[in-house]
Amino acid sequence: MKILSAAQLKTVDAYTIEHEPISSTNLMERASRAVADKIRARWGVGTPVKIFAGPGNNGGDALAIARMLGESNYKVWVYLFNTSDELSPDCQINKQRLIDFLTVKKSTMGAPNVEFMEITSQFTPPKLEQEDLVIDGLFGTGLSRPLNGGYASVVKYINASPATVVSIDVPSGLMCEDNTYNVMNHIVKATVTYTIQYPKLAFFFPEHEQYVGEWEVLDIGIIDPCNEETQTPYYLTERKDIQAMLKTRSKFAHKGSVGHALLIAGKKSMAGAAILSAKACMRGGVGKLTVRTPECNVPILQTTVPEAVLDIDVDPNCFSQSFDTTDYDAMAIGPGIGTSSYTVQAFIEQVSMSKCRMVLDADALNILGSHRGWITQLPRHCILTPHKKELFGLISTTRNSYEELERTRELAARQQIYILVKGAYSAIVTPEGNVFFNTTGNPGMATAGAGDVLTGLVLALLAQSYVPEAALRMGVYLHGLAGDIAVQDLCCESLIASDLVNYIPKAFRSLRDNK
C-alpha cells in the first residue's frame, strides 16, 4: 500500500473523478458513507453526536455524515463554521442537502432529530459530555499552515472535553507529512481516525499518536493514475506482500542448500543475546549456523542451542580477533559483544574484510556511533538495525520523527546501505531512499532481547538467499507476527523475548496456511 503526499492525494482524487467517471460530490458521498457506516457499526443510535464542520471539503464530508446519521435516527447537532462566507462547492452542496433533509423531515415527522447551526461570527460552544461522540470535520489533507484564531480555540475546546472524538481523514490541524513548524496544541486529539484510501505519513510517527489515536484506512475505490509508477518513497507492507516473497523449499533441500549463517555474538555475562539470536536464526529456517563467541559462553550455548556449531574466539571473554568468512552465506555481528578496545578493533577489521551479506545490530551500532567515520568502510547493501538511541548515534538527535526519517534516508542513500529503524511501525529504509513501514507487532514486544531475536531471524533469511530488502521486510513482519500470535496466548505485560522465538514457527505457518 502506498503512502501518498497531500498533493498526490489531490491528484488521485481528480483522476478518479475524470476516469471512473464520477462527480466530486458523489465521490464525497462515497467517502462519507464509508465513515458513517463505521460510526453506526461502533456507536449505537442512542449516542449523542456533535459534528464540527469546516468550510472546505472535510466539512462537506462532515455535513454528509450528519445527514446519513440523521437518516438512521441518531440525535445530531451540527456546527458549520463559515466565518468568511467561502464554502467549497461540495461543502455548499452538502449544506443544502442537509437543509433539504431537515425540511422534509420536519414536514413529515415534526421536529427533526438533527439540529443545524451555521456559525458566521460568534460561537457559543455546546457542552461536550463523556457520552458524546464528537465528529471532527474542520480541516483535512488540504491544510498547509497551523490553525490559529477561532479554529485553534475550537480545537482546544474539543481536546479539553471528555467526549470520544472521531476525525475524518486526518485530525484537524495535523499536516500529512512534515509538522516541524506546526503548532502542536492546535491539533485535534482524536480517539479514532477514519482515513480515506491511503494512510498518511504523519500517522507513523510516535509523537502523533496522541492526535491520530486508533486509525483505519477506508477503501472507497480511488484510482491511482499511474498504478505502480506513481512516485512515492513511502509504503506500507501488507500480509499479501510477505506471502508473495515467501519461498517454497525444494523436496531435495538439504542443510548445505538452505544457507550457512555466521553469528558473532556474546561476551562474558552476555550469553543471553547470543542464545536468543541463535535460536531465532535456527527457527528462521537456516540450514547451518556457526556462532563465534568467547570460551566463557561455550557451556551454556552448547546446552541451550545444541544445533549450532561454535567457533571459539582466542580471547576467553570477548570477541577479539577478525577471521575469514568465505564459507558463510551471511553474517550478523553485534548482539552482546560489548565495546572493549579489543572488540572495537576486531569489529572494524571484520566488517571491512567480509564479503558475505551482513547484519549489524546492538553493540556493532554502538561502536559505529562512537566511530562515525567508520561507516564509510561498511560494505554496500549491508543491514543496520538500530533502535532510536542507536540511530541517534549515527545521525545525531533530531527535532522530530519526520526529520529523523529524512536523515536516515539520506544516510542509507549516501552509503548504499539498508537501515531498519525499530519501533511501533518499524521503518525499513533502502539504498534507493524507499521506506517500508511494518504493520505487525504490539507493545508487549518492548522487552529486552526482542532485537536479538529479530537479528537472528533476518540473518536466517539472508543466508537462505533472500535479497536484503526481502529479508528485512519478511524478518520484521514475521517477528511482529510472532509477537501478535504470542500475545493472544499470553498477555502484553508478560511477553518476553524467548516467547518470540517459540512463536516464529506459528508465524510461518500462519502465512503459509493462508497463502
> What pLDDT is attached to residue 223?
84
DSSP string for residues in 96-143: HHHHHHHHHHHHHHSS-SEEEEEESS---PPP--TT-EEEEES--TT-
Four-way CATH pick for 239-243+256-513: 1.10.600.10, 3.40.50.2300, 3.40.1190.20, 3.10.20.30: 3.40.1190.20
Query: Cα separation of 92 and 240, whole Å?
Result: 41
φ and ψ at residue 309, rounded to 5 degrees? -90, 140
> What pLDDT is attached to residue 514?
74
List, for residues 170-214, the tens digit of each pLDDT value.
999 999 999 999 999 999 999 999 999 999 999 999 999 999 999
> What pLDDT is attached to residue 227?
57
> What pLDDT is attached to residue 112?
81
Give the residue ranges of the chain where pLDDT is below 70.
225-230, 515
**C-alpha 438 chain-centroid distance:** 5
Question: What are the structural domain ranges in the chain?
Answer: 6-232, 239-243+256-513
Type of residue at 214: E
Residue indicated by cell numbers 481516525 = 193
Residue 120, all three cell numbers: 458566521
Tell me the fold of 6-232.
Rossmann fold (3.40.50)
- ω into residue 21 within 30 of 0, thus cis? yes
User: Are 6-232 and 239-243+256-513 equal in CATH topology?
Assistant: no
> What pLDDT is attached to residue 228?
54
Report the candidate in 398, 384, 489 with the shortest Cα–Cα distance to residue 427. Answer: 384
List, for residues 222-235, the tens digit of each pLDDT value.
987 665 556 899 99
Per the CB < 8 A criterion, the answer to whether 331 and 354 are in contact is: yes
pTM for the full predicted model: 0.95
> What pLDDT is attached to residue 107?
79
DSSP string for residues in 245-260: HPPPPPTT--TTTS-E
User: What letter does residue 224 receive in the DSSP assignment?
Assistant: P
Type of residue at 489: D
